[in-house]
Amino acid sequence: MPVHRARTRTAAVAVVLTMTMAVASAAWAAPVISAGAQSRAEAAVAERAAAQAAARAAAAERAARLAQSLDARSSSLQASWTAFRSNQLVAGLAGVDAAVAPVHEALEASPNASEELRAQAAAAVDAAHRAAVGVRVAAAGLGVLTDIDELEAAGQTYDEAVAALPPRAEELVAAQQAWQEEQDRIARERAAAEAAAKAAREAAAAAKRSSSGTVKRSGGGGSVHVQAATGGTTAAADAGPGEAPAPAAAPPAAPSYRAEAEAFLRTLPGGGGARIEWGDPQGHLGGVWMPGSSTIILNAARLDGRLDRTKDVLRHEIAHVHQNWTMASTGTSLSAYRARLDEIFGGNGIEKSADAVALLLGASSVRYQSSFTAEQYEAARAILAHRVP
C-alpha cells in the first residue's frame, strides 16, 4: 500500500474518533446543564414565596398594630363618653329640688284638694327623689356593678319622674280653685237668699205697720234637728238638744207671722209650688210626707212667732219637696232614691242632703251635717234640679 494512502486512512480514522467523542461529550453535558437551570428556577420560586410570606406577615403585623391602636382609641373614647355622660346625669340631679318645689307649694296652697290628689302628688315627689338616688348609685358603680346602659336607664327613669311632677302640681291648683269657686258660688246663693228674705221681712213689716194688730215674737235657740223619714211617712225637722218643748196648746201667733213665713217660702226655689199647713207633723218642727207631697207641715205650737227658726225649717223642708218632685219626674222609688243618697252622704242621705240644700239656701243652723264635700253639694244641686245624683 502506498504511504500516502495509509496516512490518509489514519487521518480519517482520527477524524471519526474525534467526532464520536465530541458527540458523546455533548450528549453527556446536556442533562447537566438542564438540572442546574431547574434548580436555579426552583430557588427563585422559593425565594419569591418566602418574600410573599414575609410581606403577608408584615401586613398582618401592621393590621394587628392598627387594630390594637383602634381598640385603644375606642376604649379611650368610650371611657371619655361614659365619664362625660355620668357627670352629666349626676349634675342634672341638682335640679331635683327645684323640680319638686312647685308640688310642695301646691300641696301647701291646696288644703281643700281631695286626699287622693294629695296622695298622688306626694307619691310623685317621692318617686323623683328615689329616681335621683338610683342615678347616683348607678354612677357610683359604673364599670364595677353597672354599665353605661344601666346608667342611661336610671337617667331615663329620673327624667320620667321629674316630667310627672308639673301635672300633679297643676291638678292640685285646679282642685283648690274649683273648691274656692264652689265656696264663692255658695256664698253668692246664700247672699241672694238672705236678700230675698230681707225683702220679705221688709214687706211683712210694711204690712204690719199698716195693720192695727201686733205681732208676738218669741226667741228660740238651739239648732235644727232633722229626723229622717221612716216607713215612707214624713221627713221632719225637730228641735235641737236641750230645747224645752213648747206648750201643746200655745195661743196662735198673729197672722202676720204666718204671712211672713209663707212669703219667705215663695222666695225659695220651687216655693211657689209648695204650700204650708199649720198643724202638728207628729211632734216635729216640720215635715213633708214622702213620697209625693208638696205640702210642708209646720208645727204651729212650737214655731209660731219664731220666724228665724221657721225659715231654717222651711229651707230644709223645701228640699224634701224637691226630692218628691225628683222621684215623681224620674220614676224613682223611695227606696232606690234613699239608697242612692245614702251612698253619697254616708247614710241618712234623705236628711243630710236636705241639710246640704238648706245650707245652699242660706240656713244658719242644721242638724245632721254642717259641712259637705263638693260631690255632696253637687248632689244637693241635683235635688233642686230634679235629677237623681
The tens digit of pLDDT for each residue in 269-289 reads: 998 889 999 887 777 788 888
pTM of the model: 0.40
Q: Rounded to an integer, what distance in angstroms lies between the CA atom of residue 344 and that of residue 352?
A: 10
Count of CA atoms in the C-beta half-sphere (13 A) of 343: 9
CB neighbour list of residue 139: distance below 8 Å, 6 or more residues apart: 86, 89, 90, 151
Which residue(s) pair with 68 in the sheet? none
Dig out the grid coordinates for 369 from the structure: 251635717
- Spatial contact of 86 and 151, defined as CB atoms under 8 Å apart: yes
Please choose, from the candidates 162, 105, 83, 86, the residue with its C-alpha nearest in 3D space to the C-alpha of residue 130.
Answer: 162
Q: Rounded to an integer, what distance in angstroms lies between the CA atom of residue 2 and that of residue 244?
A: 201
Which phi-psi region, left, alpha or beta, contains residue 362 (left: φ > 0; alpha: ψ -120 to 50)?
A: left
- Spatial contact of 291 and 345, defined as CB atoms under 8 Å apart: no
Q: What is the pLDDT of residue 346?
A: 94
Please choose, from the candidates 349, 355, 382, the residue with its C-alpha nearest in 3D space to the C-alpha of residue 371.
Answer: 355
CB neighbour list of residue 224: distance below 8 Å, 6 or more residues apart: 237, 238, 239, 240, 285, 309, 312, 313, 316, 358, 363, 365, 366, 367
Q: What is the pLDDT of residue 248?
A: 40
Q: How far is CA 111 from CA 1, 181, 272, 280, in A?
A: 163, 14, 40, 45
Q: What is the pLDDT of residue 58?
A: 84
- Spatial contact of 380 and 360, defined as CB atoms under 8 Å apart: yes
Please choose, from the candidates 173, 161, 163, 172, the residue with its C-alpha nearest in 3D space to the C-alpha of residue 121.
Answer: 172
Q: What is the pLDDT of residue 241?
A: 35
CB neighbour list of residue 214: distance below 8 Å, 6 or more residues apart: 254
Q: What is the pLDDT of residue 10?
A: 55
**94 DSSP assignment:** G
For the chain, count helices (H), then strands (E): 11, 5
C-alpha distance across the termini of the chain, in Å: 169
- Report the Cα 148 to chain-centroid distance in Å: 32
Q: Which residue has the cell 199649720?
A: 278
What is the radius of gyration, based on Cα positions, of the chain? Answer: 56
Instruction: Tell me which H or E stretch contains 299.
Output: strand 295-299
Amino acid at 40: R
Q: What is the pLDDT of residue 56?
A: 86
Q: What is the pLDDT of residue 81?
A: 58
- Segments in the chain below pLDDT 50: 1, 3-4, 28, 30, 212-233, 239-254
Q: What is the pLDDT of residue 240?
A: 41
Which residue(s) pair with 278 in the sheet? 298
CB neighbour list of residue 340: distance below 8 Å, 6 or more residues apart: 332, 349, 388, 389
Q: What is the pLDDT of residue 118?
A: 86
Q: What is the pLDDT of residue 233?
A: 43
